[in-house]
């Protein structure tokens, strides 16, 4: 019978000591975390995520969480007997679908995350783009990929006009952890459903965040042979777009990450949300657990 693996006290001390320079370096800095994928649906990973966010806050780092909720929206639409329609990968959001989006994101999903963080010992506050007039949006113009002169109507899908981060800053200064649903509002007070990756990237830029961390269901950006690319520059990403290595659902994620890196966010990390405590491993240790994108 094999002995259970134990971490010796020396190894534990080494691990904790390794975190010290990172804690010192990032103290007082803002980190925007896009939370999605398996990390949002697996109970053990949900708890690990909440613990990571609380620990970061307790050591003086300011985490800001932006969450998605595509599978949860899809699940409720199915229960309501509503068939989802997609154009070029974008969900067509009519008025009825928008109601479901708001209910799922700003209600169910957001409150679950807030509850988990509070249970782990943090003080989380849920926000949407309406709170503090944070995310102003307009209707997304979607041009046909084959014929750019043709425009598709995808309903209440939004494009960000501006982000006012003052409500987020006020909460951060007061020891709270903001949890943000990607819903914006327009000039006539109408609601817009916005891609959560895009919101996280833009928010990281306006907050002048030290890092943007995007949790995904893959280990990071892979080359055509399936090998993880741990360190990418803006120029290399342009090449990967051009040769089709980056495509599908990764396109908005990487495009947003690249914009953030070019706009002053020091580093953008695309990390595997299926790894327990991946946030702590990525931020507070020497190991790379995904792809880091740098502006140059």
Provide the terminal-to-terminal Cα distance of the chain, rounded to the nearest Å.
Answer: 52
Residue 118, both tokens = 């509070």
60: in domain: yes
Q: What is the average per-residue pLDDT within 43-51?
A: 94
Helices (H), 120-185: 166-173
Residue 33, both tokens = 């975390």
Residue 180's Cβ-side half-sphere holds a number of Cα atoms within 13 Å equal to 37
23: in domain: no
Residue 118 is labelled as binding a ligand? no
Calculate ∠ Cα 239-242-248, nearest 5°: 115
Residue 191 pairs in a beta bridge with 185
pLDDT at residue 76 tops 60: yes
17: in domain: no
Average pLDDT of the residues of the chain: 89
CATH classification of the domain holding 229: 3.40.1160.10
pLDDT band at 81, cuts 50/70/90?
very high
Residue 70 is labelled as binding a ligand? yes
Residue 193 is labelled as binding a ligand? yes
4: in domain: no
Q: What is the pLDDT of residue 200?
A: 95
pLDDT at residue 5 tops 60: no
Instruction: Please tell me whether residue 242 adopts helix, strand or coil conformation.
Output: helix
130-167 pLDDT, tens digit per residue, is 999 999 999 998 888 888 889 999 999 999 999 999 99
**Please, is 206 exposed, middle or buried when counting C-beta atoms within 10 Å of its C-beta (0-12, 13-18, 19+)?**
middle
Residue 272 pairs in a beta bridge with 216
Residue 24 is labelled as binding a ligand? no
9: in domain: no
E strand intervals along the chain = 30-35, 62-67, 86-87, 90-91, 124-127, 135-139, 142-143, 151-152, 158-163, 177-180, 183-185, 191-193, 211-216, 231-233, 267-272, 290-294
Out of 113-122, 246-255, 263-272, pick the least confident. 246-255
- Residue 94's φ and ψ, nearest 5 degrees, are -80, 180
Residue 197, both tokens = 């990756």
- Global confidence as pTM: 0.91
With the C-alpha atoms ordered 264, 208, 138, 111, is the resulting torsion angle positive or negative?
A: positive
22: in domain: no
Q: Which domain holds residue 59?
A: 28-294
100: in domain: yes
pLDDT at residue 251 tops 80: no
The total number of structural domains that make up the chain? 1
Give the Cα separation of 289 and 151 in Å (integer). Answer: 40
48: in domain: yes
């Amino acid at each position: 019978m094999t002995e259970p693996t134990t971490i010796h006290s020396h190894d534990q001390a080494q691990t904790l000591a390794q975190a010290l320079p990172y804690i010192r370096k990032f103290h007082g800095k803002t980190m925007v975390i896009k939370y999605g994928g398996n990390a949002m649906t697996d109970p053990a990973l949900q708890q690990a995520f909440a613990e990571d966010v609380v620990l970061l806050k307790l050591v003086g780092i300011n985490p800001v969480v932006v969450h998605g909720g595509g599978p949860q929206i899809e699940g409720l639409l199915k229960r309501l007997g509503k068939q989802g329609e997609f154009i070029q990968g974008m969900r067509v959001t009519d008025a009825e679908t928008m109601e479901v989006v708001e209910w799922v994101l700003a209600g169910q999903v957001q409150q679950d995350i807030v509850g988990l963080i509070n249970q782990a010992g943090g003080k989380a506050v849920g926000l949407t783009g309406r709170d503090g007039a944070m995310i102003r949006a307009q209707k997304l113009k979607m041009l046909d990929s084959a014929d750019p002169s043709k425009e598709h109507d995808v309903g209440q899908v939004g494009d960000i006009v501006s982000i006012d981060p003052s409500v987020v800053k006020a909460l951060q200064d007061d020891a709270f952890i903001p949890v943000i649903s990607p819903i914006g509002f327009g000039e006539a007070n109408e609601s817009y459903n916005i891609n959560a990756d895009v919101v996280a990237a833009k928010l990281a830029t306006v907050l002048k965040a030290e890092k943007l961390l995007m949790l995904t269901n893959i280990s990071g950006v892979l080359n055509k042979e399936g090998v993880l690319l741990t360190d990418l520059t803006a120029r290399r990403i342009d090449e990967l777009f051009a040769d089709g290595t980056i495509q599908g659902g990764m396109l908005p994620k990487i495009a947003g990450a690249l914009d953030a890196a070019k706009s002053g966010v020091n580093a953008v990390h695309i990390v595997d949300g299926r790894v327990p405590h991946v946030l702590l491993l990525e931020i507070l240790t020497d190991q790379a657990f995904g792809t880091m994108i740098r502006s140059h």
